[in-house]
């Protein structure tokens, strides 16, 4: 069994981690506040990440990938998220939610045609699952796709879709009801399949971007499908398996979100340690006071615990073992650590921590969604309890 241990990474992983850390400190950190303030998508940084091979980390070389694995992607996400959660989520959604469904469930022709264009950083893909009335209850999908004369005709809408409206978005994989099936209890249930919709297809419209609390330089739109027609060959995976397939994608994605959360939590620790050493009050650094030092110590404990949780989940995943419960635990523990650390880091920084240009203020605004996206905390608790037979 593959086992990843914090602080004891094999050389190839440690080299990757250091490389991405250098990129984050040298290229990402200096421009993150400006990108956030302007709500500007980081095209130049995305291109640089493509040149570094980050979008291709878990994919085979035959598709232009790096031949690595999912854990390598998580290490990159953690390092980037220390400084910029929006950029980390652009990478996470582009790989885990955008390209991975094609790799996991696509035909050879779909892989050869689509993957090279979204794992080089010159193109992005999006994952169209959530709807206004189908978030945690993704089985409540209302978007429909009907097969007519060799084409899928798609009608409906999606909500909160990352990477869906950029200038380099190539396609969206969207779940849609394609019919009904008889369940084991004899009831009729919706048949949910997945359809690939290229950007620019008539009738496919990314609506105006959301005005969000955080993740301001990440691209997020509602989508409308109005009589969208695509070839029958754009079915992704087996007909009727769309919902089940995306549940697998979400299980993997929760490990990636945990990695982003750990990066955010670590960024709060790093900023707080530095500030506590530099800021003085009553004649000495504020870090000399237990009220501050103990708070930061608890922040560090959260980071270490959350990192161990996502490493454990990734270890089981890369070993081919069931990992649903471990992914849920990692996602819940890490996202709560990110939010708790952001709150405490803001307190350590005082008034400066309440200024939007500060790193901890960005993490304070950004981290809340980590407890919601790709499965709320309540959904993770449900999955954990279910695994326990409850």
Residues 6+ apart with CB under 8 A from 352: 275, 358
Helices (H), the chain: 11-23, 29-38, 43-52, 70-81, 85-92, 100-105, 108-118, 242-278, 290-318, 324-349, 359-366, 377-387
Active centre residues (catalytic): 374
What does the alpha-carbon distance between residue 21 and residue 124 come to, in Å, rounded to a whole number?
23
Instruction: For residues 259 and 338, give the distance between their C-alpha atoms in angstroms, rounded to a whole number.
Output: 10
Q: CA distances (Å), 193 to each of 238, 242, 244, in order?
A: 7, 4, 9
What stretches of 82-203 show up as alpha helix (H) in DSSP? 85-92, 100-105, 108-118
User: φ and ψ at 191, to 5 degrees?
Assistant: -95, 115
243 CB contacts (<8 Å, ≥6 apart)? 138, 139, 141, 175, 192
Separation CA 381–CA 128 (nearest Å) = 24
**Tokens encoding 144:** 């429909």
């Amino acid at each position: 069994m593959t086992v990843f241990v914090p602080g004891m990474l094999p050389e190839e992983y440690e080299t990757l981690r250091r490389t991405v850390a250098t990129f984050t400190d040298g290229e990402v950190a200096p421009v993150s506040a400006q990108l956030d303030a302007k709500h500007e998508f980081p095209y130049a940084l995305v291109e640089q990440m493509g040149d570094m091979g980050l979008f291709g980390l878990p994919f085979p070389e035959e598709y232009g990938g790096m031949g690595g694995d999912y854990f390598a992607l998580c290490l990159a996400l953690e390092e980037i998220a220390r400084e910029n959660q929006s950029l980390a989520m652009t990478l996470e959604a582009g790989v885990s939610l955008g390209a991975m469904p094609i790799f996991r469930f696509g035909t050879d022709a779909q892989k050869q045609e689509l993957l090279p264009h979204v794992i080089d950083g010159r193109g992005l893909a999006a994952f169209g699952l959530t709807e206004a009335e189908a978030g945690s209850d993704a089985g409540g999908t209302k978007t429909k796709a009907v097969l007519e004369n060799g084409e899928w005709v798609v009608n409906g809408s999606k909500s909160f879709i990352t990477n869906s409206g950029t200038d380099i978005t190539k396609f969206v994989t969207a779940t849609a009801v394609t019919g009904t099936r008889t369940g084991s209890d004899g009831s009729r249930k919706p048949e949910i399949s997945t359809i690939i919709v290229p950007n620019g297809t008539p009738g496919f419209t990314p609506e105006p971007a959301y005005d969000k609390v955080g993740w301001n330089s990440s691209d997020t739109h509602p989508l409308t499908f109005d009589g969208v027609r695509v070839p029958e060959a754009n079915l992704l995976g087996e007909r009727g398996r769309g919902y089940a397939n995306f549940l697998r994608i979400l299980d993997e994605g929760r490990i990636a979100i945990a990695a982003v959360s750990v990066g955010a939590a670590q960024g709060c620790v790093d900023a707080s340690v530095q500030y506590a050493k530099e800021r003085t009050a009553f004649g000495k650094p504020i870090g000399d006071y237990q009220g501050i030092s103990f708070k930061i110590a608890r922040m560090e404990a959260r980071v270490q615990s959350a990192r161990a949780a996502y490493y454990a989940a990734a270890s089981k995943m890369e070993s081919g073992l069931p990992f649903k419960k471990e992914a849920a635990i990692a996602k819940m523990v890490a996202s709560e650590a990110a939010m708790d650390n952001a709150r405490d880091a803001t307190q350590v920084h005082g008034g400066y921590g309440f200024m939007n240009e500060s790193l901890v203020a960005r993490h304070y605004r950004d981290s809340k969604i980590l407890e919601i996206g790709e499965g709320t905390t309540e959904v993770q608790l449900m999955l954990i309890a279910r695994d326990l037979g409850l």
